Chain A
Amino acid sequence: MKGLQAGILAIAVCFSLGATDASSRYNNLNHRLMCTCGCAEILGECNHVGCPNSTGELKELGAGIEGGKTDQEILDGFVVKYGAVVLAAPTGHGFDMVAWIAPFAVFGAALLGTILLVRRWSVGRTAALAVDLDTLDPAERERREQIRRETDGQ
């Protein structure tokens, strides 16, 4: 219970901190870009001492926001200057779309396939059971029903 209280308190405190629009945009955008020095880190998280690129990139980002550019214009500017690898995730265009679609397509197909398979098995099972039950005497049928009732939920 103490842990739960602590968690709730933590969330409440963090939310009370607040953030300005410009700083949240800055934060959001620097997490959508990569540092280009080769460290393979998100721009906003690149912290190695003496990084030759991240400070300049962050300044460019800040200037873009102050200059009134939209998020997309800023990102496009970075892509033109540094190439597509500067974006931390594939875009929603062209072949990049495949990156986003494939996981959900595989998930959907696997889910659907599994549901259909289980349904086919359960329909087959029900049919076999119905045939079985028809041949049972009433006492045996009642005994089975009682077992099912008693074990249900165990």
Chain B
Amino acid sequence: MAAFGTIALLIALALAAYNLLAGILALRWIATGQAAPISPERLADTARRAGIAGFLAISAAAFALVWSVFTNDFSITYIMEHSNRALPGAYKFSALWSGQEGSLLLWAWLLAVYGFVLRLTHKTDVKLYAYAGTILAGIQVFFLAVLCFAAPPFALYQGVTPDDGNGLNPLLQYPEMVIHPPMLYLGYVGFAIPFCFALGALMMRYPGEKWIKVTRVWTMVTWLFLTAGIFLGMHWAYAVLGWGGYWGWDPVENASFMPWLTGTAFLHSVMMQEKRGMMKSWNVWLIFSTFLLTLLGTLLTRAGLVSSVHAFAQSSIGTWFVVFMAIVLAVCIFTYVLNRSHLKTEHHLESLVSRESSFLFNNLVLLVACFVILWGTLFPVISEYVVGNKVTVGAPFYNRVAVPIGIFLLLLTGVGPLLPWRAASFKSIRRNFVLPVIAFWVTVIVCLAVGVKPWKDGSLDQGDFYALVAFAVSAAVMTAILGEFLRGAHVISKQTGRNLFSGLWLLTRRNTRRYGGYIIHIGVVIVVIGLAGSAFNRNIESELALHDKMSVGPYTLECVGFSQDSNLNYNSEFALLDVYSGGKKVFQMTPEKRVYLITGQPQTMVAIHSVPSWDLYVVYEGTNPDTGQPIIKAYLNPLVGWIWAGLAVLVFGTLLALVPSLGPATASVRVPLRTGTGATPGEPALKGGHL
């Protein structure tokens, strides 16, 4: 199977190289109109077909690796290092992306899947798709070259084939790890597609904004995958790492967040280009940057440039990525300089207070947030280079710098939809902003009344202060968005005689993109409320002998037993804790610690009881070597469930925005024509109304 996989990869590389070279040649002949020995259109079509065949070849290679995992073929080094016989089936799949070579193969395969769809749908716009397909082939050549020459997944084990493998990293043996990396990769890889379209459209000086409409679905789907991938990663960190948190500002987490920020900026500013022909250069660079940031993320994960808890896949292939990023950047700059006159804006902003400028400021803040994260991630390297002193840039830095920027961004989320296009009058501002401002101050007063104290002992409590502001801004933004829905629904209700809910439904279906976008904003608000809850996290750690008790928040935990279990993969020990609230037993929790047999590595399995108000999060930390007593750490984490609920709303909003809007229905009324005078005021005339 190793030989089959290797040959499949080599064939895929040859096909991608043909796709690239034949595509370049054909497009060059078409662009210059020079005489060609064969028809350029036919050559371009062979290039496209080579791309489709390449998908089959890479699929064969991926299948070979999966087959080797499931058949325990430990003659392949990768399988030996990342799997073992006792590994459950689902986790054998995750072995595919648990190491360097496998995850690069997954990347190449996903790129091929996207490319397959792109090449099959080429009839949408043959020339634009030919450009995009050729650029995509260039990216595929890079990844396949890395797989064939720098990180071969089918390299054979040197020496006697072992009976069993080293097993999968215990941290990865969790259900979410089966879907989190593919989701994240679908997001990362997917941004290659809008990048290819943007670069292709610029190269061919594509007339109009159609390329944006073509790529919109690609971009949104990609963004959705990246969003879901990031949140699944957060949930995995929360449920597996056992530190009570979900985001540690680890360099690799940051690396996934940066393209999300620029991708989000692109999704907003692209509307300006569609509606007003503005920000064309900006958009092109946003999508270029997003793609480059996905490469940077991969580089950070693999090159060991910065220390990270995701350091399981470090190697020397960082150099390959640096060179590739340099080539991509050079191509982008060259193409932009050559064709920048094509990106001349059709309109300028007319007012500082308008929908357009809110988009601009939204973009600005998203990019500043991206810069802050990039800066924080790379500052240890910069500091070491400049002053020879390596420092750590961890959560306290981001909490001070990124959190206020995030809150400002949230504020813009609410302000933007309230502003009219072009320019806003003072009257309209006053009318639209009254309710959100009231909601803001009411929330501040309520929070202060229930005990949020931003000032303690004469000094500012940063966590509480940010939480207070986040709650208040969230309330204002939610009011603004709901106000938009209700205003629109009320108008439809008046026009059509429908009830308010029916009006709301029709309103949303008429403009799914706009109202889907608002629902995404509601999801963001819910997520922010959940994040703000972390300011009030509490925890307690205690040794618990049998029938000992500990309390956290409204809960009392009583230890009613300890037990052990064993299977082929791991041994486990766990505590049985009865949880009381208000004097009544309400449920039982079983936090667990596993020791994996093949690696000897321990792993905590957190017990979580989630309700809308908070999570009770209990960790079995092992036994105290001095006393032999088990140590239990219990956290009360307010509002964490809101984060996952917010994600669900966000996904729903994105899916809704992907649904085509209802076309306007037009009703015509025929009236007798009056000679001479025309229709009298008040009488029906020939009219078309949108229903």
Whether both chains belong to one complex is answered with: yes
Interface residues, chain A, with chain B CB atoms under 8 Å away: 2-3, 6-17, 31-32, 34, 38-42, 45-50, 83-90, 94-96, 99-100, 102-104, 106-107, 110-111, 114-115, 118-119, 121-122, 124-125, 151-154
Which of B242, B248, B392 is A47 in contact with, Cβ under 8 Å? B242
The residues in B between 249 and 295 inclusive whose CB is less than 8 angstroms from any CB of A are 250
* Known contacts A103-B375, A152-B424, A152-B427; is-contact A17 B538 (Cβ 8 Å): yes
CA distance A103 to B308 in the complex (A): 22
Give 29 A-B contacts (CB < 8 Å), ordered by A residue: A2-B612, A6-B612, A7-B639, A11-B638, A14-B537, A14-B636, A15-B452, A31-B396, A34-B392, A40-B250, A41-B309, A42-B395, A45-B245, A47-B243, A48-B602, A86-B392, A89-B392, A89-B395, A95-B389, A99-B376, A99-B393, A100-B401, A106-B372, A110-B367, A114-B360, A114-B364, A122-B350, A122-B351, A152-B425
Residues of A within 8 A of B393 (CB): 89-90, 99
CA distance A120 to B473 in the complex (A): 31
A103 touches B372 (CB 8 A): yes
Residues of A within 8 A of B394 (CB): 34, 42, 88-89
Which of B350, B451, B639 is A125 in contact with, Cβ under 8 Å? B350
Interface of B is mostly: mixed
Residues of A within 8 A of B312 (CB): none
A31 touches B395 (CB 8 A): yes
B396 touches A32 (CB 8 A): yes
Chain B's closest residue to A95 (CB) is B387
Residues of B within 8 A of A39 (CB): 309
Q: Is B585 an interface residue (CB 8 A)?
A: no
Which of B248, B352, B420, B533 is A152 in contact with, Cβ under 8 Å? B420
CA distance A90 to B379 in the complex (A): 9
Residues of B within 8 A of A125 (CB): 348, 350
CA distance A11 to B536 in the complex (A): 7
B453 touches A115 (CB 8 A): no
Residues of A within 8 A of B367 (CB): 110
Q: How far is the CB of A124 from chain B (nearest CB, A)?
A: 7
Chain B's closest residue to A90 (CB) is B391
Q: Is B405 an interface residue (CB 8 A)?
A: yes
Q: Which of B58-66, B558-566, B613-621 contacts A (4 or more CB under 8 A)?
A: B613-621
* Known contacts A7-B613, A40-B307, A49-B604; is-contact A84 B364 (Cβ 8 Å): no
Q: Is B371 an interface residue (CB 8 A)?
A: yes
B396 touches A11 (CB 8 A): no
Residues of B within 8 A of A106 (CB): 368, 371-372
A99 touches B242 (CB 8 A): no
Known pairs A7-B533, A8-B450, A111-B364 / 20 extra A-B pairs, C-beta < 8 Å: A11-B447, A11-B536, A14-B536, A14-B537, A17-B538, A31-B395, A40-B250, A40-B309, A45-B243, A45-B248, A47-B242, A85-B392, A89-B397, A90-B379, A90-B383, A96-B391, A99-B379, A99-B397, A100-B400, A118-B357
Q: How far is the CB of B311 from chain A (nearest CB, A)?
A: 8
Which of A12, A46, A99 is B451 in contact with, Cβ under 8 Å? A12
B432 touches A124 (CB 8 A): no
A124 touches B348 (CB 8 A): yes
* Known contacts A12-B450, A46-B243; is-contact A153 B371 (Cβ 8 Å): no
CA distance A135 to B160 in the complex (A): 92
Which of B243, B307, B553 is A13 in contact with, Cβ under 8 Å? B553
Q: How far is the CB of B489 from chain A (nearest CB, A)?
A: 15
Q: Is B224 an interface residue (CB 8 A)?
A: no
Q: How far is the CB of A31 from chain B (nearest CB, A)?
A: 7
* Known contacts A40-B250, A107-B405, A119-B352; is-contact A10 B613 (Cβ 8 Å): yes
Residues of B within 8 A of A40 (CB): 250, 307-309
The residues in B between 340 and 374 inclusive whose CB is less than 8 angstroms from any CB of A are 348-352, 357, 360-361, 364, 367-368, 371-372
Q: Is B82 an interface residue (CB 8 A)?
A: no
CA distance A15 to B613 in the complex (A): 14
With a 10 A CB-CB cut-off, give which of A31, A102, A107, A152 has the most chain B CB atoms.
A107
A15 touches B350 (CB 8 A): no
Residues of B within 8 A of A49 (CB): 593, 602, 604, 621-622
CA distance A46 to B614 in the complex (A): 22
The residues in B between 385 and 414 inclusive whose CB is less than 8 angstroms from any CB of A are 386-387, 389-397, 400-401, 405
CA distance A115 to B351 in the complex (A): 10
Q: How far is the CB of B277 from chain A (nearest CB, A)?
A: 14
Q: How far is the CB of B295 from chain A (nearest CB, A)?
A: 22
List 3 A-B pairs, minimum CB-CB distance, nearest first. Answer: A153-B428, A15-B451, A14-B536
CA distance A85 to B529 in the complex (A): 32
Residues of A within 8 A of B509 (CB): none
Residues of A within 8 A of B537 (CB): 14
For B, the interface residue count at a CB cutoff of 8 angstroms equals: 78
Q: How far is the CB of A40 from chain B (nearest CB, A)?
A: 5
Residues of A within 8 A of B308 (CB): 40
* Known contacts A94-B387, A153-B428; is-contact A88 B392 (Cβ 8 Å): yes
Q: How far is the CB of A56 from chain B (nearest CB, A)?
A: 14
Q: How far is the CB of A107 from chain B (nearest CB, A)?
A: 5
Which of A16, A115, A154 is B420 in contact with, Cβ under 8 Å? A154
CA distance A95 to B452 in the complex (A): 36
Which of A89, A96, A102, A152 is B375 in contact with, Cβ under 8 Å? A102
Q: Is B633 an interface residue (CB 8 A)?
A: yes
CA distance A106 to B376 in the complex (A): 13
CA distance A58 to B241 in the complex (A): 20
Which of A9, A31, A83 is B613 in contact with, Cβ under 8 Å? A9
The residues in B between 527 and 582 inclusive whose CB is less than 8 angstroms from any CB of A are 529, 533, 536-538, 553-554
Contact with A along B297-320 (1 / 0, CB 8 A): 000000000011100000000000
CA distance A90 to B405 in the complex (A): 19
Q: How far is the CB of A91 from chain B (nearest CB, A)?
A: 8
A10 touches B392 (CB 8 A): no
Chain B's closest residue to A15 (CB) is B451
CA distance A152 to B538 in the complex (A): 49
CA distance A96 to B383 in the complex (A): 8
A89 touches B352 (CB 8 A): no
* Known contacts A87-B392, A121-B348; is-contact A11 B451 (Cβ 8 Å): yes
A118 touches B420 (CB 8 A): no
Q: Is B42 an interface residue (CB 8 A)?
A: no
With a 10 A CB-CB cut-off, give which of A47, A111, A114 has the most chain B CB atoms.
A47
Which of B395, B446, B611 is A88 in contact with, Cβ under 8 Å? B395
Q: How far is the CB of A44 from chain B (nearest CB, A)?
A: 9
CA distance A149 to B638 in the complex (A): 47
Chain B's closest residue to A24 (CB) is B456
CA distance A115 to B428 in the complex (A): 21
CA distance A11 to B602 in the complex (A): 35
Contact with A along B7-47 (1 / 0, CB 8 A): 00000000000000000000000000000000000000000
Q: How far is the CB of A6 from chain B (nearest CB, A)?
A: 4
CA distance A42 to B387 in the complex (A): 24
Residues of A within 8 A of B242 (CB): 47
Q: Is B244 an interface residue (CB 8 A)?
A: yes
A8 touches B554 (CB 8 A): no
Q: How far is the CB of A117 from chain B (nearest CB, A)?
A: 8
Chain B's closest residue to A113 (CB) is B364
B621 touches A11 (CB 8 A): no
CA distance A119 to B348 in the complex (A): 10
Contact with A along B436-457 (1 / 0, CB 8 A): 0000000000110011110000
Contact with A along B481-493 (1 / 0, CB 8 A): 0000000000000
